[in-house]
Amino acid sequence: MAKIKEKTLKKLKRKSFWPSIVLFLAFLIVSFTIVFAGIDLFATYIIGSKLTGLYEQAMDTGIMMERAVQDGESIAYGLDHVDHYRRDPSDIYVTDSVGNRVASTGDSAPLFDQGFEWTLGERCRIYKDSKWDYGQEALDDIEDIFDFHVPELADRAFDRAPMGHGGNTMRSRWLQESIVEQQFWMYVPVSLNGKKLYIKCTLEILRQDVIYIMALGGVALILLLIPLIFLFINTILNIRMQRRITKVLYMDPVTGGNNWIFFQGYAAKMLGSVWNSRKTYAMVNLHMERYTNYLSCYGSSQGEELLECMDGFLRARMKRKEVFGHHSRADFALIFQCEGDNEEQCRNYCYLRLRSLLAELAGLQPERKLHFHAGVCMIPPVEAETGKRFIKRKNVDVDQLFNFANTAQKSSHTDAEQIFFFSDRMLEEQSWEQWVEDNMQNALSAGEFQVYLQPKYTPTDRRLVGAEALVRWVCPQKGLIPPSRFIPIFEENGFIMKLDDYMLSKIAKLQAEWKVQGKKTVPISVNISRAHFTQEGLAEHISQLVDGYGPKHSLVELEVTESAFFDDKEVLIDTVKQLRAYGFPISMDDFGAGYSSLNSLKDIPLDVLKLDGDFFRGEDEMGRRAIIIRETIGLARELDIRVVAEGIEQREQVDFLAGLGCDMIQGYYFAKPMPVEEFEARVAADA
């Protein structure tokens, strides 16, 4: 595939919704992380502020104790005093400097071996209580006693709804309810004559604390959800758009089915996969013959309808793991999976399947006769490599495979034969064609195309009365190349126009030179390919070309093949009339080969009729064919057309034709095509 096309396709195929999906997911993850981290942070903050409150409360008590002791009172008095004045009396525990109990209230004590530092603005020490149940989770790490999990808190907060008919009071009581309590001891740094003071605190988390935390989290979540929803909608729209692009990219505008781009991609993947590499496949080019004629007869919309119909037909006949697509005009590409144990069986399978497919296709429109051809390129399985379990077909070139199938398809020339398999010979032919195309222009400039002349003799007195100019490609590397090897290629690519002009000017020049040199001149015919008749102003063009050298027009005869008569009869007749008006004799070449029509003799003003060499070859030497030859010559004479018999190799043929009044004979019997110098010598000898 061309690089630019490949790039554009890649761009279109790239799934543009992936960035949206990634962004959406990333945003989702980030949003939730932020919300949960925020909730956690907020919870920690609330717990922290509660602990600070407890610390301040403990400090107040401590200072109260300190004052009492400084006033000279005993610790016991201090405890009573504090107990009396504090709003919220809590247990107090006093030890001496080494940790022995001095005095205490309550029935529990701090566990001095389970304490830790806690930072509440200032650092303070916290100890577990000897009697409080901290639950299973807080057993490993002492600090975990303040580590409350938000989901657990939420669970507890909503374990019961506000009940009863108390209205606001009920609700506020419900909100004020403590859902988590944690008891611990806090060391209070006051001076008590060398004693240490510990106060028991209770951390309470109320239902409303949790509800605050949850509400804040909810608000944050809603705020983050808005862009998230927007992103979500954007992603959905992107996916839908991508689907549409893919559909447009892979849908054939004519058939509505798979197009070539889809086929290429799918086929490459299918053929190159590990699972399919050991199977035999066949690439088929299914081609409808004379589609252009169909379009001219029934119009382009009917033509498109037919292709659509073919698409539906093929869809119904393809199996799983097979694919097809519309290539161009009336060509479809198909890939069959072939069944069989060996190449022969696989080929046979493919042939039989195609045969029934083509037969069915021909009857697709009962009222019209449709013709189909198929070219097949077999795709052999990949040989198993020792030691490797998985093998893949490497470098699957779908274009190349289709080209091979197409080459095979084009090698079919008759309606009777319909299925052709690609072979190495075709590949050679293809590379030959390429060589010819690459070298033709240089060869023309370098004068490698040389004129050979084949004399025409009268059958009775055997005088040399004319000649045909035949081209030979004398190539320095490949030697002498016969026209059959390159003329069909030139006719296909249009280079024949240049070559014919070249030959025409060579003959015009020769005739002019012979005239100047006072040599004997005979009319020489030049082949004008049918492709020339599409050229506007052909008659003037030829006339100007010849006039460039100045020979008499009657010495330059123009040979037109009969097939040219089928292209555009009107144009041809018109051009022939003009050429004759310029004085060029016209001969119809290869009469009797292929589609002969005596009718054309009536319509086209001719000077010479060239009977094709095929007339004189084969079994029925002088039987039925002899009658046709006799009648054709008779008819031509009546119409005042001279007859040249081509390809005459035997004396009996010459005698037979002499008897019928044939005007000239061109064939190996008299002479093969020869270089100009040799021809000049022959003419001189004949004079």
Catalytic site positions: 646
Interaction partner, residue 459 (Ca ion, ligand C2E, none; CB < 5-8 Å by kind): none
Q: Is 368 helix (H, G, I), strand (E, B) or coil?
A: coil
Considering the complex, state which of residue 379 and residue 531 has its C-beta at the smaller distance from ligand C2E: 531
466 lies in the binding site for ligand C2E (CB under 6 A): no
Distance CA 605, CA 648 (A): 26
484 lies in the binding site for ligand C2E (CB under 6 A): yes
- Measured between alpha carbons, how far is residue 300 from residues 190, 257, 286 in Å? 105, 18, 20
- Partnered with residue 674 across adjacent β-strands are 453
**Nearest CA-CA partner of 282 in 409, 197, 395, 428:** 409
Are 411 and 426 a contacting pair, CB within 8 Å? yes
Considering the complex, state which of residue 271 and residue 508 has its C-beta at the smaller distance from Ca ion: 508
Are 272 and 385 a contacting pair, CB within 8 Å? no
CB of 593 to Ca ion, least distance (A): 8
Sign of the CA dihedral with 511 first, then 512, 517, and 518 last: positive
Considering the complex, state which of residue 380 and residue 447 has its C-beta at the smaller distance from ligand C2E: 447
Interaction partner, residue 471 (ligand C2E, Ca ion, none; CB < 5-8 Å by kind): ligand C2E
Site string for ligand C2E, 629-648 (x = CB under 6 A): -----------------xxx
Which region, judged by CB under 5 A, interacts with Ca ion, from 223-231, 366-374, 559-567, 633-641? 559-567
- Partnered with residue 666 across adjacent β-strands are 646
557 lies in the binding site for ligand C2E (CB under 6 A): no
The identity of residue 576, as a single letter, is: V
Interaction partner, residue 649 (Ca ion, ligand C2E, none; CB < 5-8 Å by kind): ligand C2E
Q: Please identify which residue in the block is written with the tokens 């303070």.
A: 124
Residue ranges of the alpha helices (H) in 86-197?
150-157, 167-176
For ligand C2E, the binding residues in 240-279 under the rule CB under 6 A are none
For Ca ion, the binding residues in 495-554 under the rule CB under 5 A are 527
Considering the complex, state which of residue 482 and residue 537 has its C-beta at the smaller distance from ligand C2E: 482
Interaction partner, residue 451 (Ca ion, ligand C2E, none; CB < 5-8 Å by kind): none
CB of 612 to ligand C2E, least distance (A): 7
454 lies in the binding site for ligand C2E (CB under 6 A): yes
φ and ψ of 388, to 5 deg = -115, 125
Pick one of 48, 162, 189, 483: the residue that binds ligand C2E (CB under 6 A): 483
CB of 12 to ligand C2E, least distance (A): 47
Q: Is 312 helix (H, G, I), strand (E, B) or coil?
A: helix
Considering the complex, state which of residue 551 and residue 673 has its C-beta at the smaller distance from ligand C2E: 673
Interaction partner, residue 667 (ligand C2E, Ca ion, none; CB < 5-8 Å by kind): ligand C2E
φ and ψ of 531, to 5 deg = -60, -30
CB of 587 to Ca ion, least distance (A): 8
Considering the complex, state which of residue 252 and residue 500 has its C-beta at the smaller distance from Ca ion: 500
With residue 607 as reference, give the H or E element that holds it.
Answer: none
Distance CA 642, CA 654 (A): 16
Q: Please identify which residue in the block is written with the tokens 């119809």.
A: 588
Q: Is 624 helix (H, G, I), strand (E, B) or coil?
A: helix
CB of 611 to Ca ion, least distance (A): 9
Strand-strand pairing, 556-561 and 524-528: parallel
Strand-strand pairing, 323-328 and 195-206: unpaired
Which region, judged by CB under 6 A, interacts with ligand C2E, from 61-69, 212-220, 435-443, 664-672? 664-672
Considering the complex, state which of residue 85 and residue 668 has its C-beta at the smaller distance from ligand C2E: 668
Considering the complex, state which of residue 466 and residue 613 has its C-beta at the smaller distance from ligand C2E: 613
Considering the complex, state which of residue 484 and residue 517 has its C-beta at the smaller distance from Ca ion: 484
Which region, judged by CB under 5 A, interacts with Ca ion, from 206-214, 300-308, 388-396, 646-654? 646-654
Which region, judged by CB under 6 A, interacts with ligand C2E, from 128-136, 282-290, 435-443, 662-670? 662-670
With CB under 6 A as the rule, give the number of residues binding ligand C2E.
Answer: 24
For ligand C2E, the binding residues in 487-526 under the rule CB under 6 A are 487, 496, 499-500, 503
Copy the structure tokens of residue 388.
Answer: 């490797």
Distance CA 427, CA 433 (A): 10
162 lies in the binding site for ligand C2E (CB under 6 A): no
For Ca ion, the binding residues in 162-181 under the rule CB under 5 A are none
Copy the structure tokens of residue 70.
Answer: 């400084």
Considering the complex, state which of residue 470 and residue 683 has its C-beta at the smaller distance from ligand C2E: 470
613 lies in the binding site for ligand C2E (CB under 6 A): yes
For ligand C2E, the binding residues in 577-596 under the rule CB under 6 A are 589-590
164 lies in the binding site for ligand C2E (CB under 6 A): no
Long-range contacts formed by 382-385: CB under 8 A, 24+ apart: 382/277, 382/278, 384/278
Question: Which residues have C-beta within 8 Å of that of residue 303, sequence separation ≥ 6?
Answer: 291, 294, 295
Copy the structure tokens of residue 432.
Answer: 């030959």
**Nearest CA-CA partner of 592 in 632, 624, 557:** 632
CA 361 and chain centroid, separation: 27
Site string for Ca ion, 577-596 (x = CB under 5 A): ------------xx------
Count of CB atoms within 10 A of residue 376's CB?
25
Q: Is 164 helix (H, G, I), strand (E, B) or coil?
A: coil
CB of 528 to Ca ion, least distance (A): 9
Q: Which residues bind Ca ion (CB under 5 A)?
A: 527, 559, 589-590, 646
Binding site for ligand C2E (CB under 6 A): 454, 470-471, 482-484, 487, 496, 499-500, 503, 527, 529, 589-590, 613, 646-649, 666-668, 673
